[in-house]
Amino acid sequence: MDDQIFKNVFLYICDKEGHIKTVVNSIIENQTIEIDEKIYDRVLPDGEALWNSHIINSKREDNVHWKGFLTCLGEEPYACYFARLSENQIMVLGMKNEIQRYLYEEMLKINGKLTNKVRGLYKEKTIIKENEYEEISKMNNELSNARRELVKNNYKLEELNQKLEQLTIKDFLTDLYNRRHFYSFSRDVANRAKRLGYACCLIMIDINGFKSTNDNFGHDVGDSLLVHLSMCMKNTFRHGQDTIFRFGGDEFLVLLEASNYNDSLAAMKRLNQLYEQDSKGTSLAAGIVEIKHDEIQENFDEFIKKADELMYLEKKNARD
């Protein structure tokens, strides 16, 4: 192939953030490309958005495919292509528009020479014997089947991992999130509230008379009360904004994003109305705490303690 073509082609190996790690061929004359420079700062002007679109935001299954677009280097238009070599290696190939046809013609010539060479070998009977071809074909089929089976098993393993993760963060009886998940989830809620500047609410809920109902009528009745309450809560609170946790026993915690005290109080009134339809002689006690965005912390222990105290105060008032 004509060496002149390489004066119009650049080829770099970068990491996924766009830092140049290897310069295979450079077209920038009288300039030195420094390792770890970002490719869109020197070689691809205004290319950061394209890089993010094609590399950072590309799907995993697209890793092996080439992605192409047009860009300019100086005043020359270039065709540029991205391809992932590995998780953190991206090949960047660029060439002037007018030499793409020339390069294609050169590749056709090479392909033609290789084809003629193979035909010559076949005529001279120096190629692999027919039975060896059959053996290779058989091995290729076995490898293809093994690969399909591996992909299938990987999907199954991923599904099992997702189910296992759900088992570790959800309560088996009520299908609500458990106490363990609250502490990791609440950190994300706190960060969103600070960033967007909205208040949150915590509601601690307990069933009045649950222990005596459990003792007098059995655990099956007690479990049915917990399931009934969990269904009432799912039908009361907002999907996507309010998250419900079974904190332990007959105690439940609700974390309401972008909500205030009055919103939470209204939600509790609706919940009480639903719960009373099959309460088996019990009632609900609740403690509500509103948390301003400038008071919120990643650790919610202080707010949980306050909601718990308010809930027990309401239980005491109900008994009195």
Asked whether residue 59 carries a pLDDT value surpassing 60, the answer given is: no
**Per-chain mean pLDDT for the chain:** 80
- What type of residue is 197? G
How sure is the predictor about 150, in pLDDT bands with cuts at 50, 70 and 90? Answer: confident
pTM: 0.51
Does pLDDT of 127 surpass 60? no
Helix or strand (DSSP H, E) at 94: strand 89-96
Residue whose token pair is 């202080």: 302
Residue with tokens 């290729």: 140
What pLDDT score does 128 carry? 54
Angstrom distance (rounded) from CA 55 to CA 62: 9
Q: Which residues pair with 23 in a beta bridge?
A: 12
Provide the pLDDT for residue 265. 95
Most confident range (mean pLDDT) of 140-144, 288-292, 296-300, 313-317 is 288-292
Could you tell me where in the chain the CATH 3.30.450.20 domains are found?
3-100
pLDDT, mean of residues 178-188: 89
How far apart (Å, rounded) are the C-alpha atoms in residues 141 and 123? 27
Phi/psi region, residue 30 (left: phi>0; alpha: psi -120 to 50; beta: rest), is: left
Closest C-alpha to 294, from 203, 199, 201, 202: 199
Average pLDDT in the 221-240 region?
Answer: 94
Whether domain 177-319 has CATH 3.40.50.10330: the reply is no
Q: What is the mean pLDDT of residues 253-277?
A: 95
1 confidence band (pLDDT: 50, 70, 90):
very low
Pairing of strands 242-248, 177-178: parallel
**Mean pLDDT, residues 247-258 taken together:** 94
CATH number of 3-100: 3.40.50.300, 3.40.50.1820, 3.50.50.60, 3.30.450.20? 3.30.450.20
With CA atoms as reference, report the closest residue to 11 among 23, 20, 28. 23
What confidence tier does 14 reach under pLDDT thresholds 50, 70, 90?
confident
Return the number of other C-beta atoms located less than 10 Å from residue 153's C-beta: 10
Rounded Cα distance, 89 and 15, in Å? 5
Residue 37: pLDDT band by 50, 70, 90 thresholds?
confident
The answer on pLDDT for 233 being more than 90 is yes
Q: What pLDDT sits at residue 57?
A: 66
Q: Given a cut of 70, is residue 207 above it in pLDDT?
A: yes
pLDDT tens digits, 272-307: 999 999 999 899 999 999 999 888 887 899 999 999
